[in-house]
Structure 1
Amino acid sequence: MRLDFVPGTLCDERMWGRLLPLLGDGFEFNHVPLPKAHTREQMLELIGAHSALKANLVGFSLGAYLSVEYALTHPERVQSLTIIGSAGKKLGDKEKTTRERIIPQLEKNLYTGMTQMRLREIVAPEHLDDAELIGIIQRMAVDLGKEVLLAQFRSTIERPDLMDRVRALQCPVLIIGSEHDKLVPADDVRELADNCPNAQLHLLSEGAGHMMPLEAPQALAHHMRTFYTKPRCQV
């Protein structure tokens, strides 16, 4: 089975590096190069251009939001959806304010990677001392750089709320969130699952903040393997 992975803000295929080896045999992995896009429309076009004709989309954070939007626009192109770290909503007021503050700072200054404040927002406290995990996040941030971050922030700070529209999804949906995700409240993830007609929900109770593919790859691999062995997900 082919899985098409869509990364989050300032992430690339390295976001999935801890997860993929745990999924086992029987999968082919493909990565949508989201950082190449400069607008939300281009991001959606990249998903279409770099995914299978009947795609099993696996999206994280921004990539999960975009995967849902793509599935709603092109239902004939999506076999299944795995949504990690997203509730399909427009940005909350706190995160929107944070980005509005960061954008002018980025425009004027050199970008040297995630600040400690931002890391504490996206990583659970028990993983802040994981040098390998933090290193992956920082290398993605520095390598992708300021222009990618600015493009992703500017093009997605205003986006439609998909919470009600997901009722139209007909494909199987796996939703994975965390009780301790500071960016995507667990109650919003529960609401998303309630609104999706064919959704399975798993909320991680410990060991993960927002960066679940890096923080809790074993749990994600277990839930994904179970999901993809169900008959409707097989292609």
Structure 2
Amino acid sequence: MKKRVYLITGFMCDERIWSKVEALLQDSYEFIHIPIPNENSFEKIVEKIDIDDENINLIGFSLGGYIASYYALNNFSKINKVLVISSTLCSLNSDEIKQRQNALKLTKEYGFSILNDKKIKTLIENKDDKNLIALIKDMYKNSGKELFLNLLTATTYRKDLSQNLINSNINFNFLYSKDDILLNKNWLMNMKENKKFLFECIKSSSHMIPLEKADYLKDYITRIIN
């Protein structure tokens, strides 16, 4: 019988973010996708996630890593393991908050626009991969304006989960790229001092680990879940 693994995607992504690693592990695991609920508050997002299982292996990518961790902390009796990919579970700094507030204002005034190539290239390691860039653009476009506005509103003012993690008995595991510009390096250094969590670092700049480092992620999932 295949082990069930629940997947939560990232900001303005869809199931395709997992397509490569799913193809590599389809004979070993049953993957169940959990889309981020289209709600304008974080509490509503987590409330809408309903996993009917008593031994949950949960993987979250980027924003999905934060959501997965928040869900796990509130449903600890049902959790087996949590894998957090490309995510630091902390509050946003003042610059990040201002950027999000500006994005909200511009989108409401002038409409929704997809990511440009320059922005996408800051998230990936292989900056010449036109198919990868096109996929990220398409996921962003398909997610749409309403989800964009709701997710920005719901997740800009998020709390640091450090103490909650430390006080829990949940098996949290973290995989990230060394030079991922979206991660809070201070948070990582502080949390790595607590030996109850497993942190694994890839020598890469990629934020999009599931798409660019699928072979590595395949091995990581196999090691952690098994």
So what's the TM-score if we normalise by structure 2?
0.91
Structure 1 residues 26 and 14 mapped into 2: Cα distance closer, same or farther (>3 Å)? same
Residue 101 of structure 1 corresponds to 102
SS at match of 2:84: strand
Which one of the candidate residues 217, 221, 226 is aligned to 1:224? 221
Is the Cα contact below 8 Å between 1:71 and 1:169 reproduced in 2? Answer: no
1:21, distance to aligned residue in structure 2 (A): 1.3
Count of matched residue pairs: 224
Structure 2 gap ranges (5+): none
User: Percent same amino acid among aligned pairs?
Assistant: 26
Cα distance between partner residues in 1 of 2:86 and 2:11:
12
Partner of 1:73: 74
Task: Specify the alignment match of 1:202 in structure 2.
Answer: 200
Shift in Å, 1:116: 3.1
Match of 1:37 in 2: 39
For residues 181 and 30 of structure 1, the distance between their equivalents in structure 2, rounded to whole angstroms, comes to 27
> Does the 8 Å contact 1:114/1:141 carry over to 2?
yes
Structure 1 gap segments, 5+ residues each? 230-235
Against the structure 1 CA distance between its residues 134 and 35, is the aligned structure 2 distance closer, same or farther, given a 3 Å change threshold? farther
The amino acid that maps onto 1:37 is E
Cα pair distance change 1:10/1:51, threshold 3 Å: farther
Matched ranges for 1:124-163 at <5 A: 124=125, 127-163=126-162
* 202 and 173 in structure 1: CA distance in 2 versus 1, 3 angstrom threshold: same
Query: Over residues 6-48 of structure 1, what are the superposed CA-to-partner deviations in whole Å (9 max), with x where a residue is unaligned?
Result: 111111211111121122522110011214333212221233x
Amino acid at match of 2:174: I
- Residue aligning to 2:63: 62
Deviation >4 Å, runs of 4+: none
Mapped partners of 2:52, 2:93: distance in 1 = 29
Contact 2:38 2:151 in 1 (8 A): no
The two structures have a TM-score, normalised by structure 1, of: 0.88
